[in-house]
Amino acid sequence: MTRTRRLTIVNAYGLHMRPATKFVSLARSFQSDIRVEYQGSWVDGKSLLDMTCLAAECGSTIVVEAKGPDAEEALDALADLVAAGFHMTEEDYH
């Protein structure tokens, strides 16, 4: 089963190393394959290098695709993480 969802990056500094690390860590906790699209480029959502190379800025939209037995759960969890600004606090930027 393949599921997709459009998500908006809401944290102030976009998808840089720390938020990408949180995304990849969560994505790796699921069996499903996770792919992410930004501006026409598809990358492996379980690869830190791929995710940081997207350089998605605040306000941009990414498409997350999950394919596998826990695809819906993976998308729910990843959507929650992105909507929460990757749980980044102001201290995380200093």
Structural domains present in the chain? 2-93 (3.30.1340.10)
* Distance, CA of 5 to CA of 76 (rounded, Å): 9
How many CA atoms lie less than 13 Å away from 50 in the CB half-sphere?
A: 15
16 is catalytic: yes
The pLDDT of 48-69, averaged and rounded, is 96
* pTM, entire model: 0.93
Assess whether pLDDT exceeds 60 at residue 94.
no
For 3-22, the pLDDT digits (tens) are 999 999 999 889 999 999 99
Whether the Cβ atoms of residue 12 and residue 58 lie closer than 8 Å to each other: yes
Percentage of the chain lying above the pLDDT 90 cut: 85
Exactly one of 3, 5, 16, 18 is catalytic; name it: 16
As given in the structure block, the two tokens for residue 49 are 């290098």
* Distance, CA of 79 to CA of 49 (rounded, Å): 20
